[in-house]
Structure 1
Amino acid sequence: MNHGGDLSEAIAHYGGAPQDWLDLSTGINPRPWPVPASLFADALHRLPAQADQEALILSAAEAYNAPKEAAIVPAPGTQALIQWLPHLAPPGGVAILGPTYSEHAQSWQRAGRTVFPIADMKALPREVRHVIVVNPNNPDGRIFESARFKQIADEMRSRGGWLIVDESFADIDPAIGCAALCTDLPIVVLRSFGKFFGLPGLRLGFLIAEPRIAASFEAALGPWAVSAPALTIGAAALKDRAWAVAARASLDMMAQRLDAILQMAGFRLVGGLPLFRLVQHADARALHKKLARKYIWCRRFDESPDRLRFGLPRDDKDLARLKEALVSP
């Protein structure tokens, strides 16, 4: 499954301008953290400073419950880290628990690595040296039992490899994260900033791992990998715990309201998270086209033609627009 958020395909097929569209193709918080104008303007006029990066790392460590023995590497988005993984990991094949975000498999395949798609973690092929788990999973919202991560990491250590846990959507529940295990185990945790905080254009993500692993990524990314605005805004947002608590409650409420509308339209809820809903319908393809003709864009899946994924509407107006589009001819 690829990423959403690019209306180019929708506009090419159905017309309109970007401002005409209701884009529900992403899993990004439609109510972003309110960036103070002064914070952004100041950071635009200077190079990133070491002090800025250290402040961001401290905020991330507190927000993600990372132990002091672990190292945190800021990056220009989680996607940049995904691209580096197969080039910096020890040699060997990778098992990917799926179906899930397709960029993981594609990046390892482009690097010449053997990819083993797996549906469960009960028996890993002998050729596997690394394992990738997206937790919570995209697009079905599956949450993997954190107690199993230590066992899998122990097995990967015996094989000389890594357990990679992509926690891009874990901000919806602080209990999901497994950064606390990143001490002496070969666990590599990826965290996305932009999704939960609604600021994907800032391009900010994090890698959390034991120091030797983290150092290889820091060297690969090089100096000034993260912009000054991303460093300063990220540090401030991650420290805003009151906003995070309120955002989680708001997302839960909007997700429930979205569920009611989708179920009223005949969809069956089959998965999802507070940031997106995965639904099933026998006429999903036709409904996707119907919505697109009304300039509403959601996610379809070539491998699962009866499923669609909806991101959250921003407000009552957008929710009403979706409802009207679904019930009207």
Structure 2
Amino acid sequence: MFKPGGLEHGGRLRAASLNYGIALADWLDLSTGIAPYGWPLPAIPASAWARLPEQQDGLEVAARDYYGVSNLLPVAGSQAAIQALPRLLRNARVGIVSPAYAEHAAAWQREGHRLLELSEGGIERALERLDVLLLVNPNNPTGRRIEPQRLLQWRARLAERGGWLIVDEAFIDCTPEHSLAGFSDRPGLIVLRSFGKFFGLAGIRLGFVLAQPAVLEWLAELLGPWTVSGPSRVVATALLQDYVGQRLQRERLLADGERLATLLSVQGLPPTGGCALFQFCCTPSAAELHEFLAAQGILTRLFTSPLSLRFGLPADEAGWQRLQLGLEAFAMECQ
């Protein structure tokens, strides 16, 4: 269960640089599940910097078309919604499918809710006792995906008692057929979507909440106006309308996800799970491998429960070769 204090995240490259004495430019950062490449960005007009953001600029329309929904709310990264949603309820019994992105549990516990850490197999037995069921799909860090029909059955049971099913779909853009976005108009369902991971623009700090209008209105009132900057809105609108670019990005990420799984398997690290943006490996040597690769300027994400590593995608061929050589060197050292 979550304990107070700073939470670790991937992408802490500056801290790794200081810790290992390796310059920032010399790292291969595989510690996140963010696409390591994107496509050309649109020009940003001066007015986007000079004026307060306005909702009539086309972002909401483009996002509704992209997700296939009627109602959504742009937020400053899905992290903003993760921290705000627990403030809409009081004294809720919240089941969180674990392991999962730790910020979810932290946010609900911070607001005084009662948390129950669940395995996927324990959901059915616990559901009648819950006000909220929260899960990440595909899961972070395991990559485990639960089928939509099963999720919708849980939603229906929760909604009968006024409960919520919250599904964080930060990593689902490469497999949109598994998304619950198209069902987000149903009572008791809240879907969180990340913009930065698939589009390779984590620094833009943009996400979307898909839910019934009443929930979105409560959340918008809590978050206040102008949560997404004008320049971010310009860039996101253009990319959400670029269907050709999205198709190419999806194809490349899916191919690279398979390539990463194959590379790890060949090196004796068959993934326990994963998705297009990362692969997850449970191995007793996770800590040693993490340290070995970091000493060579290759940053992965280490987890202790379960003991495992998560590998993101290299951005280019040089990165792929560097990862392969690092894994081969570790295998040689362990012989």
- Which residue does the alignment assign to 1:311? 312
Matches of 2:146 and 2:8, distance apart in 1: 21
Which deviations, in whole Å up to 9, do the C-alpha atoms of 1:160-194 show, x marking residues without a partner?
Answer: 22111111111011112112222241111100000
Rate the CA distance shift 1:157–1:280 in 2: closer, same or farther, 3 A. Answer: closer
Q: Report the Cα distance in structure 2 between the residues aligned to 1:159 and 1:111, rounded to whole angstroms.
A: 22
Cα deviation for residue 30 of structure 1 reads 0.6
- For 1:287, the equivalent position in structure 2 comes to 289
Residue 300 of structure 1 and its aligned partner are, at CA, apart by 0.6
- What's the offset of the Cα at 1:266? 1.7
Q: CA offsets per residue over residues 254-276 of structure 1, 9 Å max, x none?
A: 22222233223221211000100
2:109 corresponds to: 109
- In 1: Cα distance, 2:179 partner to 2:45 partner: 29
Output the CA distance in 2 between the equivalents of 1:127 and 1:85: 20
- The alignment status of 1:44 with 2:32, answered yes or no, reads no
Matches within 5 A, 1:112-123: 112-120=112-120, 121-123=123-125
The answer (yes or no) to whether the contact 1:75–1:204 under 8 Å persists in 2 is yes
> What's the CA shift for 1:40?
6.3
SS state of the match for residue 123, structure 1?
helix
Deviates more, 1:137-146 or 1:122-131: 122-131
Instruction: Summarize the Cα distance change of 1:113–1:292 in structure 2 as closer, same or farther, 3 Å threshold.
Output: same
1:9 aligns to what? 15
Moved over 6 A (4+): none
Q: Residues 34 and 89 (structure 1 numbering): CA distance in 2 closer, same or farther, change over 3 Å?
A: farther
The question of whether the paired residues in 2 share the 8 Å contact of 1:156 and 1:186 is answered with yes
The within-5 A match list for 1:206-285 is: 206-285=208-287
- 2:202 aligned residue: 200
Deviates more, 1:312-321 or 1:122-131: 122-131
Corresponding letter in the other structure for 2:93: G
Q: Is the contact between residue 75 and residue 81 of structure 2 (CA under 8 Å) also seen in structure 1?
A: yes
Measured in 2, the distance between the counterparts of 1:140 and 1:304 equals 10
Give the letter for the 1:28 counterpart.
I
Q: Quick one: structure 1 residues 274 and 132, their matched pair in 2 at CA, closer, same or farther if it must change by over 3 Å? A: same
Cα distance between partner residues in 1 of 2:46 and 2:325 = 40
Q: Give the secondary-structure state (helix, strand or coil) at the position aligned to 1:191.
A: strand
Cα 1:123–1:2 shift into 2, 3 Å: farther
Unaligned runs of 5+ in 1: none
**Cα 1:82/1:4, change in 2 over 3 Å:** same
After TM superposition, give the deviation of residue 203 of structure 1 in Å: 0.2
Q: How many corresponding residue pairs?
A: 322
* Counterpart in the other structure of 1:96: 96
Partners of 2:301 and 2:244 lie apart in 1 by 31
The question of 1:82 aligning with 2:82 is answered yes
Cα-to-partner distance string for 1:198-256 (whole Å, 9 max, x where unaligned): 00000000011111111001111111111001111111111111111111111122222
Deviations 1:11-30, CA, capped at 9 Å, x for gaps: 23211222121110000011
Higher deviation after alignment, 259-268 or 200-209: 259-268
Structure 1 pair 149–263 and aligned structure 2 pair: CA distance change class (3 A):
closer
What letter is aligned with 1:22? L
Partners of 1:289 and 1:176 in 2: how far apart? 36
SS in 1 for 2:170: coil
Deviation by residue 1:110-158 (Cα, 9 ceiling, x = unmatched): 1111111111222225441111121111111111111123322222222
**2-side partners of 1:94 and 1:59: how far apart?**
33
Partner of 1:296: 298
Q: Distance in 2 between matches of 1:60 and 1:116?
A: 33
- What one-letter code is carried by the residue in structure 1 that aligns with 2:94? V
1: CA distance, partners of 2:73 / 2:67: 13
CA contact (8 A) 1:136 1:167 kept: yes
Judge which range, 154-163 or 1-10, deviates more: 1-10
CA contact (8 A) 2:282 2:306 kept: no
Corresponding position of 1:154: 156
Name the SS of the counterpart of 1:61 in structure 2: helix
Deviations 1:21-51 (A, max 9, x none): 1110000011123212x23665233321231
Name the residue aligned to 2:32.
26
The answer to whether structure 1 residue 322 and structure 2 residue 323 are counterparts is yes
Task: Give the distance between the partners of 1:112 and 1:40, measured in 2 at CA.
Answer: 44
Q: CA 1:144–1:41 in 2, change beyond 3 Å: closer, same or farther?
A: farther
Alignment check: 8 A CA contact 1:268 1:281 kept: no
What does residue 66 of structure 2 align with?
63
What's the % identity of the aligned pairs?
Answer: 41
Q: Is the 8 A contact 1:90 1:160 kept in 2?
A: no
For residues 40-91 of structure 1, give each alpha carbon's deviation from its aligned partner in whole angstroms, at most 9, with x where no partner exists.
6652333212312xx111111111111x3xx211000000100001101354
